[in-house]
């Protein structure tokens, strides 16, 4: 089947007064492009996992609205890692075209964009491919239809419900993918429940970066040994919602403390969200976060009580088998002596660290898995769209 799809990516909205740079957070990291290799892993696999491809003869055209961290990296992932994707549109109400070019070209964490970026009229031209640029604040006013965009990524963090995200349909979008958790939109995690997607779904969520790390890990363990209950902690890189120095944050007093000066306890719904993508685990997991002063790459600590007793070696074998099998490209596996920066630019949702886990009894175990909370997650956004396109055009 030869199908030409036109997809619109909404880059993140950043409210103009909420875009916060993070000087000093990542001074030890040298700029570089996302690596094409799997760093320190065994059985990690490249690209999409089994069952995640759209087929060699399908081309998907995509666009983008808002130009925040996830939006820009969704664009990079589409341009650099997927030859079956062509970007067609970008919308950001707060960034002028010249600055948009600059923000795409230079990235303090992931390095300089290796392609050629030009401005022609009101368009960005990346490696000879034109990208229409819009500056609409109202999502219903973005002319996705005229740009030829069918699938829109709602990466703003603002329009995260079905009702709000559906505004994009008025501009000609056919489907909307929210790059954040949603209170009412169905959530899909690649490698976990993506096969449950059906073409009648119009607005969907790709969940959060932490849920994308935790869910594959929890699925493998639950399928093989059963999870009675568990607690998750994510040691999470700083994000743009935090403050560079102490400042007002009336709803989250700790969250208002300086991001690169502190380890900050925080709430997260990532563990509970796993119950939405793996119904058997609903109510069995909860968790919290520690925000730490690094610019990218986070790590999940999942401590669980198992239903069936086992050994840590058996757990390692189960994780390795999944990383080489049905979750290849989504779940990674490593036995190397790794640290967080080793995973900058890693495209996997979750990389199981076999040497970091510990076990106190045959039914009580702590598991550790890494994730590039920016690039890994952005890669899944792209792959979810590709999967949806494949299902929609069968």
Does the annotation place 140 within a ligand binding site?
A: no
Give the pair of three-digit tokens for residue 285.
């997991």
70 is in an annotated binding site: yes
Q: What letters, b where the CB count within 10 A reaches 16 and e where it falls short, cover 38-57? A: bbbbebbbeebbeebbbeee
Would you say 28 is a known binding-site residue?
no
Residue 254 annotated as part of some ligand binding site: no
Sheet holding 58-65, edge to edge: 117-120, 123-126, 129-134, 85-91, 58-65, 3-10, 151-154, 175-178, 203-205
- DSSP, residue by residue, 181-211: --SSSPB--TTTTGGG--TT--EEE---HHH
Check the annotation: does 269 bind a ligand: yes
Q: Residue 291 annotated as binding? A: yes
Whether 295 is catalytic: no
CA angle 293, 159, 134 (to 5 degrees): 95
69 marked as part of a ligand binding site:
yes
- Residue 324 known to bind ligand: no
DSSP H helical ranges for the chain = 69-81, 97-105, 144-147, 162-165, 209-224, 270-277, 312-324, 375-392
DSSP-assigned states of every residue in 20-75: ---TTTTTTPPP-PPPSSPTT-SS--SSS-TT----TTEEEEEEEES-SHHHHHHH
Joined tokens for residue 321 = 């088998």
Q: Is 346 annotated as a binding residue?
A: no
> Catalytic: which of 26, 28, 209, 213?
209
Classified as helix, coil or strand, 168 is helix
Q: Is 179 annotated as a binding residue?
A: yes
Catalytic residue positions, numbered = 209
| Residue list for the binding site for D-glyceraldehyde 3-phosphate | 208-210, 239, 268-269, 291
Q: Residue positions in the annotated binding site?
A: 69-70, 92, 179, 208-210, 239, 268-269, 291, 373
């Amino acid at each position: 089947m030869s199908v030409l799809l036109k997809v619109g990516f909404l880059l993140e909205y950043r409210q103009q007064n909420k875009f916060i740079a993070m000087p000093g957070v990542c001074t030890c990291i040298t700029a570089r492009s996302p690596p094409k290799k799997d760093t320190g892993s065994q059985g990690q696999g490249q690209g999409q996992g089994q069952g995640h491809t759209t087929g060699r003869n399908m081309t998907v055209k995509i666009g983008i609205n808002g130009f925040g961290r996830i939006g820009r990296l969704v664009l990079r992932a589409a341009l650099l890692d997927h030859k079956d994707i062509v970007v067609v549109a970008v919308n950001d109400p707060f960034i002028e075209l010249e600055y948009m070019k600059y923000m795409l070209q230079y990235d303090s964490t992931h390095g300089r964009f290796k392609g050629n970026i030009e401005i022609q009229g009101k368009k960005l031209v990346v490696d000879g491919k034109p990208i229409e640029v819009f500056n609409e604040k109202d999502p219903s006013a973005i002319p996705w239809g005229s740009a030829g965009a069918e699938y829109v990524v709602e990466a703003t963090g603002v329009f995260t419900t079905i009702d709000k995200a559906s505004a994009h349909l008025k501009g000609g979008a056919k489907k909307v993918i929210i790059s954040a958790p949603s209170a009412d939109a169905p959530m899909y995690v690649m490698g976990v429940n993506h096969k449950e997607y059906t073409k009648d779904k119009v607005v969907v969520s790709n969940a959060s970066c932490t849920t994308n790390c935790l869910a594959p890990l929890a699925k493998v363990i639950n399928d093989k040994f059963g999870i009675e209950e568990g607690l998750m902690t994510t040691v999470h890189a700083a994000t743009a919602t935090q403050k560079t120095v102490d400042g007002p944050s009336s709803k989250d007093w700790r969250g208002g403390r300086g991001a690169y000066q502190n380890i900050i306890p925080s709430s997260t719904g990532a563990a509970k969200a796993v119950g939405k993508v793996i119904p058997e685990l609903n109510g069995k997991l909860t968790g919290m976060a520690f925000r730490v002063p690094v610019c990218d790459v986070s790590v999940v600590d999942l401590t669980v009580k198992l239903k069936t007793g086992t050994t840590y070696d058996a757990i390692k074998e189960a994780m390795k088998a999944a990383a080489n099998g049905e979750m290849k490209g989504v779940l990674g596996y490593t036995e190397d002596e790794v640290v967080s920066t080793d995973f900058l630019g890693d495209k996997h949702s979750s990389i199981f660290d076999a040497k970091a886990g510990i076990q106190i009894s045959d039914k009580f175990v702590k598991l550790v898995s890494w994730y590039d909370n920016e690039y890994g997650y952005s890669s899944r956004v792209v792959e979810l769209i590709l999967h949806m396109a494949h299902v929609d055009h069968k």
